[in-house]
Amino acid sequence: MHKTAIAIHGGAGTITQANLSPEQDKAYRAALKKAVEAGHQVLERGGSALDAVELAVVHLEDSPLFNAGRGSVFTKEGKHEMDAAIMCGKTLEAGALAGVRSIKNPVKLARAIMEHSDHVILSGYGAEEFALSYGLEFAPEAYFFDKYRYEQWSEVRDSDIFMLDHTAQRDEKFGTVGAVAVDQEGNVASATSTGGMTNKRYNRIGDTPIIGSGTYANNQTCAISCTGHGEFFIRAVVAYDVSCLMEYKGYTLQKACEEVVLKKLVKFGGEGGLIAVTPSAEVALVFNSEGMYRASKSTGEETLVAIYKE
């Protein structure tokens, strides 16, 4: 029986103690702790890594604090467009979706696409039609309305500016949530979900639903979920690059993550971070920004919850 471990993130970016009130700090930590411990309970009961990452991400999607699911930001048109992905390290099967507007928990739809379709990525109305056929829960527009997100959008809706979740005047962060886990069988899995960019146009899609960029899992190496400026993560093929460094160069998980996030990404201006776990339950939480909402829990160890640079 393998040691189990799970790690989650709730976004990265300019997150400092100066721009989070004590109340906000406490709320974020509580939400992260609840999500990571829910996922870890699944693992300790003998559940799969897939079930654990899905449940942890559902918890984060259900919280208005994070830019995914209920807390998704507004697009240029005042709507919500959500992306998500999930991947199984044992089979290399994956499911993803882009640009859905009324799915309560996009990560559940990603799982359904992986398990019940012959495809990897579905988008827009087609993805929602698929969700309907499998009885997934929809939510009305009012469910996704958040006063803070609305004010955020109001500041820029009459301009061509798009924002990565928050303006510099607020706590600029790259809003994505994600989870990675390894179960008692030694199988790894990853899941990622996002509401994208505030005021985004043209059905823009980031790295979250792109397998190998924002989400990846392989039992030969690790499971990874990313958060950051999606365009850079797509161009750098970040998640798969970490896996490749482990597989072909023999790097440790930590070394591979640092090589990609602290060197490769930084060289061409990519900001953000990632979480990763190996089949042997090594965990890495690496970011090049001011902070990253993150938490992890391993068998027999205390729950780690952190926000800022240590």
pLDDT value for 165: 46
- Predicted confidence (pLDDT) per residue in 90-108, tens digit: 999 999 999 999 999 999 9
Is 207 known to sit in a ligand binding site? yes
pLDDT value for 160: 61
Is 206 known to sit in a ligand binding site? yes
pLDDT less than 50: residues of the chain? 165-172
**pTM for the structure as a whole:** 0.93
pLDDT value for 19: 82
Which two tokens mark 76? 């240029």
Q: Return the half-sphere exposure (C-beta side, CA atoms, 13 A cut-off) of residue 292.
A: 28
- Predicted confidence (pLDDT) per residue in 74-90, tens digit: 666 677 789 999 999 99
Is 229 known to sit in a ligand binding site? yes
pLDDT value for 203: 80
Chain centroid to CA 33: how far? 16
Helices and strands (H, E) in the chain, number of each type: 10, 13
Phi then psi dihedrals of residue 200, to 5 deg: -70, 155
- Give me the active site residues, please: 176
Stretch (H or E) spanning 58: helix 49-61
Q: What's the CATH code of the domain at 216?
A: 3.60.20.30
Is 230 known to sit in a ligand binding site? yes
Is 205 known to sit in a ligand binding site? yes
Q: Is 38 within 8 Å of 59 (Cβ atoms)?
A: yes
Question: Number of structural domains, the chain?
Answer: 1
Is 228 known to sit in a ligand binding site? yes
What is the Cα–Cα distance from 165 to 167, expressed in whole angstroms? 7
What is the Cα–Cα distance from 153 to 159, expressed in whole angstroms? 10
What is the Cα–Cα distance from 122 to 99, expressed in whole angstroms? 9
The domain of 294 spans 5-308
What is the Cα–Cα distance from 21 to 23, expressed in whole angstroms? 5
